[in-house]
Structure 1
């Protein structure tokens, strides 16, 4: 069975919800952090939950329904507006093979906690024990790796987050996890 690529952005609550279901997914998952707003701009997509007030109102209810269904907390970080999304994404890339643990901690801090995430030092403190430093998070190498992930996503036809790619099949959205599970089981 080949690995599943997981294109995500921490600013996406649906990425958080999808991530919460990973224990039920077979096979290996490769974390591909992307700046979803940058990607959307490149491919001509629009973040409708941001620009459409009725959809934004609906999304709050929808997210609560999904969180209840999954049995996970949903309480956005109170400092969400002051958190640099690209910094969080670079931190996962800086974690290298410990990316899954770094992503889990950051998702928790963004959508079910209140840990400070305003600076690279804050993020490095959250990732204590994973070998990630503030300098690594802010490095040109981490920024280049993030840019490469966005470019790869664009090339693969990704238009939002979360997106999963398994055996060249794309599954967009938290609500497509059942289809992903079916594809992974069929490939096993």
Structure 2
């Protein structure tokens, strides 16, 4: 089975916009997606990125314009300035890692945590919010949060962040397939073509 590393920030509006298409693409092409949440501020610090609130007014305004364009194209609505914008996402990230280690599929959990912030004006740094998301999916939130607070999960979160930088990642969402980086949900078409090309090459051998 083809393997794809997906590096993302649990505060990423763009990751939310790309979530359904990534899941569908994985199904269509028979690819296993490894969900790897990262500390994007650490990635920025090592790769020259600028946190949103430190960017110029022009860049912040353009981000909102682009979000509205993509919302219209995809038929997906988000609040471009949510009530709780980019809170500490470390617990949410570690909870996702814990869920995967416990054997649960995490695509829906990943999307619903993003939706909590960008669609429902919830603070994803709050344990109660994360437990509510897990509960709606029928997942053992208490156990996942407990495991998320362990040192081994914290280390895995750091490892994913280091691994992302080593792979050439500098923003969220980023998809790495066959050592090639595709940055942004607006590059999913290119990723899909790369997956299709490998499938075709395999058939022709």
Structure 2 residue aligned with 1:131: 140
Matches within 5 A, 1:49-88: 50-75=54-79, 77-80=82-85, 83-88=87-92
Query: Measured at CA, do residues 107 and 48 of structure 1 come closer, stay the same or move farther in structure 2, by a change above 3 Å?
Result: closer
Which residue number corresponds to residue 151 of structure 1? Answer: 162
Equivalent residue, structure 1, for 2:33: 29
Q: Which residue of 1 aligns with 2:202?
A: none
Q: What secondary structure, in the 3-state scheme, does the structure 1 residue paired with 2:111 have?
A: helix
- Please say which of residues 17-26 and 5-14 is displaced more in the overlay: 17-26
Q: CA RMSD in A?
A: 1.9
Q: Secondary structure at the match of 2:105?
A: helix
* TM-score relative to the length of structure 1: 0.89
Which segments of 5 or more consecutive residues in structure 1 lack a partner in the other structure?
A: none
Distance in 2, Cα, partners of 1:167 & 1:42: 23
Corresponding position of 1:120: 127
The answer on whether the counterparts of 1:15 and 1:162 sit within 8 Å (CA) in structure 2 is: yes
Based on CA coordinates, which of the two structures has the bigger radius of gyration? 2
5+ long unaligned stretches in structure 2 = 200-205
CA 1:174–1:50: 2 relative to 1, 3 Å: farther
Structure 2 length normalisation: TM-score?
0.82
Matches within 5 A, 1:28-47: 28-47=32-51
How far is 1:49 from its partner?
Answer: 6.8
